[in-house]
Structure 1
Amino acid sequence: MKRLNSKSGCSVEVTLSVMGGTWKPIILFKLMTQKKLRFMELSREIPNVTQRMLTLQLRELEIDGIVQRTVHAEVPPRVDYELTELGMSLKPVLLAMRTWGMKYAELQEQGEAALAVCD
């Protein structure tokens, strides 16, 4: 696990240091809903992420104990990614983020529609 270096002493900061950013919540959500995924499956599921960024984010999540990487002794080698028990404990957080995002997007659309009526 990487060392926690909270500048503010706030537990929200700790949470964001582990799962924050553009790609980590999306990676976590995909693994939460699909259990195990191979690297290229994850890459196809998140088409806008570069392979380099996906690799870096998966490594960080693995170091933090959120994602487990399993290498199978096959030719060609097969690598699976899945959430650990600690990673699965983020499920309520991810679901709450999805719900909030859907409500926020809905409010934004309503606001744009209201502005369009006023024009």
Structure 2
Amino acid sequence: MPIVRFIDQSSGQVLEEVAAEAGDVLIDVARFHELPLHWRCGQGTCGTCKVRVEHVGQPGTVKVGRKERNVMLRAGLIDAAMAAAEEWPDTADTWRLACHLTLGEADWRVLLPPAD
């Protein structure tokens, strides 16, 4: 059972530490625990649920779907080269959409950005 620590990116303060299940979608975990993760659609089209994630196994690579890549490009969070790549660097500096992230067995630190 992974432990997810939600961190305020500005202050570094741990907002909440919760137990989750492998296979849970990150945005659902945040919403269930009423955490300040900003979102509008929950379907990967608006780009407001952007986060940065730290976990064991980084750095590495991760497969990213076309929908997430297009939304991130439109939001100005990635460049055209990254939008064309099916695999991205899996690092704590890489923006991802919480509605596209499924938890595995490892613990995660999720950095929540300030509201736009």
TM exceeding 0.5:
no
Which has more radius of gyration? 1
Q: Which has the higher contact order (CA 8 A, sep 6+)?
A: 2
TM-score (norm 2): 0.26
Report which of the two has the higher share of strand: 2
Which structure's residues are more often helix, by fraction? 1
